[in-house]
Structure 1
Amino acid sequence: MCRRLYAAVLTLVLASAALNGCAKKQQTAELGTEANPIKMALVPSLDTQKLVKSGEMLGEMLERETGLKFDVSVPVSYAAVVAAMGAGTVDVGWLSPLPYVLARDQYGVEVVLTTVRDNSTVYWSFIIARTDTGISTLADLKGKTFAYGDPVSTSGCLYAKDLIRRSGYDPDKFFSQVQYAGAHDKVVMAVYNKQVDGGAIYGGVVSDAREKVADTIKDVMDKTRVVSKSMSIPNDTVSARKGLPPEIVRKVADGLMKIAKSDEGRIAVMDLYGIDGFVKAKDSDYDSVRQVAQTEGIKLEQLGK
């Protein structure tokens, strides 16, 4: 038994030493090299496998454009991306507005770019329902079942609750039952499959989250409809962790903006999050989101709940 215990301890010590050696090697290697690539994380607002595929394609384009090396990931939640940026284990995060505001206020994360969709830098929270339910207004959903997206999704939760509150109702008491489906496409599926009566998704000038499942559910646009929409929301961000070298921030920003203007790049960013471009951004662009979050009492510690 003592021999087995000694062997187990020795194994752990050797493993720990190896891990520490790798970590030190990565820390001493120049950021953006093969040994220490720039860690870029995408929030899981849509199907994770599709995001990974599109994200890796975009990462390869960024490598060609900037000469830097990238490691692209899709963590399990919005909260995981924020926490990783706060810990310095993610360098660049594609954060939706609410996670960005929380990450900025708590960890000093800096917004670099705002995404553009259909020539617009704003979007909305859409409330959807099936067309065969008789639900045609927000009021019709009172006492019904409902699906939000991620608990800290800006359009999939925060602005939907703000819409309900502005309409004169208490979002915590408005529905008979609530579930958090996670990604926007899962909310669409829940409504379409009659698992819930209504749901909150992102909506743009000419498109919304329903189109992400239209390839597999051909009649989703006919069988569901938008019954209400929130006030406008500034588009999602590409943000940098605190302390990321300015030269790297510049290269990433310039690289993404250039890629989005190329034929191949337009396809990549459209496949990723339905993006057709980027513009430079500043923190004050997201003050309206900050105000809504304060009204709804959203705090960073709620991210993991």
Structure 2
Amino acid sequence: MRIRTPLLAVVATGLLTASLAGCGARDESTTESSAASPCTGSSSADAADPSELTLALVPSGDANKLVETVKPLQDALTERLGIPVRGVITQDYQAAVEAIGANQAQIGMLPPLQMVQACNKYGAEPALQTVRKGKTTYAAQFYTNNPDKYCDDAPVTGANGLLYCNGTESGTGPAGLDSLSEMNGAKTVMLQSASSAGFVFPSAALKEAGIDSTADLDLTQVTSHPAAVLSVNNGDDEVGVSFWDARETVVADTPDVAKNLVVFALTNEIPNDGVSISSSLSPDLQQRISDAMEDYASTPEGVEALTAIYQITGLDKADPAALQQAQTEADSIGLGN
């Protein structure tokens, strides 16, 4: 198994660089069994408002670009809350969870699995979930530069100008999973094991097809969905996995993606990522943060800013029971809390 890692570890907005990757877990364990009822988080009733709030974001694509795109959000939250908000980009998904646990970050924009883990381990409230294209769920996709091997029908062009086969053009999973049996031994690029769409849900689907993602594939792991797309487009790998449809994030700069790559399978639906809020805050401030983010997401400038960050078109109240499905899938491939 090969792992490609970026040179950039952590970037903070403005002139400040924060090292959140080394945050240690608290000594006391508050971990609950992932089989327990969905975690809804906790708060600190008597906590005073802090002098500053830190918003942790997980890396997605170009971290330097993310630094710039998060500035409107941090400014809007600062204005609405009356507390300075500082945005940071963590080294990886788990670093964001541990930053919340160590109270180095009070707000996290996290993938679904990490929202559950932050709640189970540290009581962080799963406050909001993102909306994209009118949905609060999405599928992970398998795509290839070798459609003759994986497509049972002729690829069709979707509304976004990209190619699909095996009934995947709707973007709603599951679809085309019978084709996964062809992947045994294939050069495949996935994300790190903490990624719901980049590893967990695809690995669970492969397991159902009798394939172990780490033992039965010629596997490379990268740290972002765009990097996975480009690896398959460049011919370094035959199959890649990502959220649906990560090809849209690179096609403007790499237009041959539109003709080179075909999506051939979709996993079960995954609960969208969202916003977790630290249990170190008072319930009043937790609610104010949630309200401020929802309010900003309801404005045209908010939609523009959130789309630039993570292709978010809205925010809705979180559904802890739906989020728990991400942990259930992780458990199915041996990745518990």
TM-score (norm 2): 0.74
1:58 paired residue number: 73
**Partner Cα separation in structure 1 for residue 252 and residue 146 of structure 2:** 20
1:194 paired residue number: 235
1:183 paired residue number: 224
CA contact (8 A) 1:132 1:223 kept: no
**Partner Cα separation in structure 2 for residue 194 and residue 31 of structure 1:** 52
1:60 Cα deviation from its structure 2 partner: 0.8
**Partner Cα separation in structure 2 for residue 128 and residue 263 of structure 1:** 33
Matched, 1:166 2:208: yes
- Pairs within 5 Å for 1:74-93: 74-93=89-108
2:127 aligned counterpart, secondary structure: strand
Please tell me the residue identity of whatever aligns with 2:302: G
Kindly report the root-mean-square deviation, in angstroms, between the aligned alpha carbons of the 2 structures.
Answer: 1.8
C-alpha distance after superposition, 1:136-159 (max 9, x if no partner): 332332211111112200000000
1:70 paired residue number: 85
**Partner Cα separation in structure 1 for residue 268 and residue 335 of structure 2:** 18
- Pairs within 5 Å for 1:1-305: 31-32=49-50, 36-131=51-146, 134-136=149-151, 137-175=179-217, 177-203=218-244, 208-300=245-337
What is the total number of aligned residue pairs between the two structures?
Answer: 264
Please tell me the residue identity of whatever aligns with 2:311: G
1:66 Cα deviation from its structure 2 partner: 2.5
CA, structure 1 residues 30+54, in 2 after alignment: closer, same or farther (shift >3 Å)?
Answer: farther
**Partner Cα separation in structure 2 for residue 112 and residue 257 of structure 1:** 10
Please tell me the residue identity of whatever aligns with 2:113: L
C-alpha distance after superposition, 1:206-235 (max 9, x if no partner): xx1111111210121221111111100110
CA contact (8 A) 2:189 2:237 kept: yes
1:6 paired residue number: none
**Partner Cα separation in structure 1 for residue 226 and residue 220 of structure 2:** 14
CA contact (8 A) 1:147 1:180 kept: yes
Q: Which runs of 4+ in 1 moved over 6 A?
A: none
Please tell me the residue identity of whatever aligns with 2:309: L
C-alpha distance after superposition, 1:143-177 (max 9, x if no partner): 111111122000000001011012232333331x2
1:113 Cα deviation from its structure 2 partner: 0.1
1:132 Cα deviation from its structure 2 partner: 6.2
CA contact (8 A) 1:131 1:222 kept: no
Please tell me the residue identity of whatever aligns with 1:228: A
1:103 Cα deviation from its structure 2 partner: 1.9
Please tell me the residue identity of whatever aligns with 2:216: F
More helix by share: 1
2:94 aligned counterpart, secondary structure: helix
Specify every segment of 5 or more residues in structure 2 that has no aligned partner in the other structure, as ranges: 1-46, 152-178
CA contact (8 A) 1:163 1:230 kept: yes
CA, structure 1 residues 30+245, in 2 after alignment: closer, same or farther (shift >3 Å)?
Answer: closer
Larger Rg: 1
CA contact (8 A) 2:327 2:336 kept: no
Please tell me the residue identity of whatever aligns with 1:211: E
CA contact (8 A) 1:260 1:269 kept: yes
Please tell me the residue identity of whatever aligns with 1:214: V
CA contact (8 A) 2:184 2:211 kept: no
**Partner Cα separation in structure 2 for residue 88 and residue 40 of structure 1:** 11
**Partner Cα separation in structure 2 for residue 247 and residue 283 of structure 1:** 20
Please tell me the residue identity of whatever aligns with 2:200: L
CA contact (8 A) 1:117 1:276 kept: yes
Aligned residues with identical type, % of pairs? 28
Please tell me the residue identity of whatever aligns with 2:137: V
Please tell me the residue identity of whatever aligns with 1:115: T
1:30 Cα deviation from its structure 2 partner: 6.2
1:199 aligned counterpart, secondary structure: strand
1:11 paired residue number: none
Please tell me the residue identity of whatever aligns with 2:55: M
**Partner Cα separation in structure 2 for residue 262 and residue 103 of structure 1:** 28
